[in-house]
Amino acid sequence: MATEQMEKGIVWGISKDLQADIRFEPNACKLYVMDISLGCPMQCVYCLFSPLELMVYKLQNPGYKGDILPLKLDKFLQREEFPPVVYLCYSSDPLGNGELTASTLRVLEKLFANDVHVLLLSKGPMAPEFIDMVRRRPDLMEIQVGVTNFDTERNKIIEPGAPSYEARMENMRVLGAIEGLRSLVVRLDPMFPGIDDTDENITRIMNDASERGVKRAVLSYLVLPQSMKSKLRQDEFLRDAVDAVSEITPTISQQELYSFPFEEKIAKFSHFERLCSERGIQMSVCGCKEHRFKETNFGWTCFPFFSREKREELSRNFKIKLDTSHLKCHDFTLE
């Protein structure tokens, strides 16, 4: 699969010399992104991006053994011009372990010094040093904590390298207490049909998140290429969920990806929206993983956070323009 993608001319984010830097990524909802590592300690079985980066790097470097490698920061630290917003990270978790957290802290210090807005999505762990860094410029930080299920056994199978549910809820408690934090969101993504989209699971997460001061949630179903469907359905625990991912779905990537059928998504999300609202949480869906949501009445956010309004506001104040052509209707502002 990696070879096919290279033949299509895709520019891969991980450079051969392992230098980290900001890049424009059309598949990340046309945002500027930065990765901290090659490979990701979370080892989520559904990840589309990190395995491809690893495969491509191995083709370039046959001696590579698959280790998780922190990227070098020399090139980034020499940078003098910045886009208005950077998303950490596209194919890895910026807080995946202590070494990666240390790199992320250096990156944040540079971004803060240049008044760059930071969109950070992580499952943790969030060290005290990271929390202290967020407190320095909470006005620039929009953070989503990935929590898709409270069940320990499920998480061991699907997200084997991620911290516990309790640890991620503690992250939200600490973040929720930071005065002036621009945005804090609980993200249920991707949900496996029949495993994660149960009333028990959604209710438990929303209750716990609400008690910790979270007022916004983003929910999204699993999307998979055929090759990953075939691989994941070999696991008995995942088989029914993977089989339910049966409809080719229009996404921002324009690749052939399968997801839960759209009409069933509509019914599920209408119900989940009520469950969230009853707990004081505003729900949105991902409009780039499922373009058809942009024609519904659901609030949707272009991954990870920005609506057309926010992109245009930032574009007025920076040299680099943020694309809004893919944001057609029902823009969802997390203000």
Amino acid 229 reads K
2-291 CATH choice from 1.10.1740.110, 3.20.20.70, 3.40.50.300, 1.10.287.4070: 3.20.20.70
Contact 43, 156 (CB under 8 A): no
Alpha-carbon span 139 to 5, nearest angstrom: 38
Task: Domain ranges for the chain, please list them.
Answer: 2-291
Token code pair at residue 227:
């090759």
Of 284, 215, 294, 229, the C-alpha closest to 259 is: 229
Q: Give the model confidence (pLDDT) of 183-225 as tens digits.
A: 899 999 999 999 999 999 999 999 999 999 999 999 999 999 9
pTM score of the predicted model:
0.87
Above 80 in pLDDT, residue 13?
no
Q: Give the model confidence (pLDDT) of 137-148 as tens digits.
A: 999 999 999 999
